[in-house]
Structure 1
């Protein structure tokens, strides 16, 4: 491990905008979106149905002249109340409702790109309601330091033909965004996350945490925008 902390290490790997969706997207094609508990109107749409939120999002992007919306790191969301995958406790301090990846909302079928060269560590269809759906984890090593990137809410055919250990190039298409019937019942989007330690997980890693474990996960999973620079 180098002298710098993991967040500083990740930030230093790229200088400019690094694409993770759409091989023809550029920095100006994105707009920030707030899905936190501070934006109850959007959260009502998302909790109502993935279709309602998709319609709202598509209309908003079209009016703004943008291709994708992004945001959500270290964001407290009420959305996860709809799934017992995240909320099984009476104590709110223990419930998982803090998002620790970056979401990028774009059209179904949008290409998903490897942000850096590496290899396929693992993949899985995490098919629970409210889960990632099809998921790919890549393993990277830079300057003698190993780390991982996770790509969730993919299409099911994105997992076809994959092999653990297969090498991937930077900006290579590795998947496509799935629809609500295959991505955990969400509007089409990519959940992108960086992890220094997988903590024994294979084809999966928590993308939402509780207040109790927040500090641990923020240290292990720094803001993905440090790398993407959207």
Structure 2
């Protein structure tokens, strides 16, 4: 899920990244979530079916029948459908996630290593060597002692507060083209860690940003169409 990492109680959460800009073709991913239904942004599980033509789905709140875990109220399933612009999501019956040949994509199967976009700063490369994701920071840092624990009542701990700009860059290495998003931090020790909100689908040459960017605090979805190698 997209995390706003905070190290002490009472600290404002990370503002989130702004709209993407750069050389990669990017489209807003249309999404209409019915009232009472769970949104596929921020914390969806990626599914894949190999029955017939391979296809990708997103599931939110789906249960695990073999473990007797039921579906959550409002659980939803969405099929990713490539189109002329990039792709779009179509809501489908939740039962499709439990059909033969359907399986969640595990950490080991994910084209992106688990640590991608998880840290405050750092970089990673996709398992196929075609995509690099890097987070950098420019600005000030200050150390402070703050209350630890969820309510800030578990003693004092050391923390770092940031005032500056984090830049998340997604680069298609064969072409050298990149896309960038920026997060403004104002004397805060929290920041966004969108590792599970970035989905790379190499077979389709697509990258999905599922709530990575925000506009006026509202998470948005984007589809990136990668160029041919």
TM-score, length of structure 1 as denominator length: 0.27
Higher helix share: 1
TM-score, length of structure 2 as denominator length: 0.27
Of structures 1 and 2, the one with the larger relative CO (CA 8 A, separation 6+) is 2
Structure 1 or 2, whichever has the larger Rg, is: 2
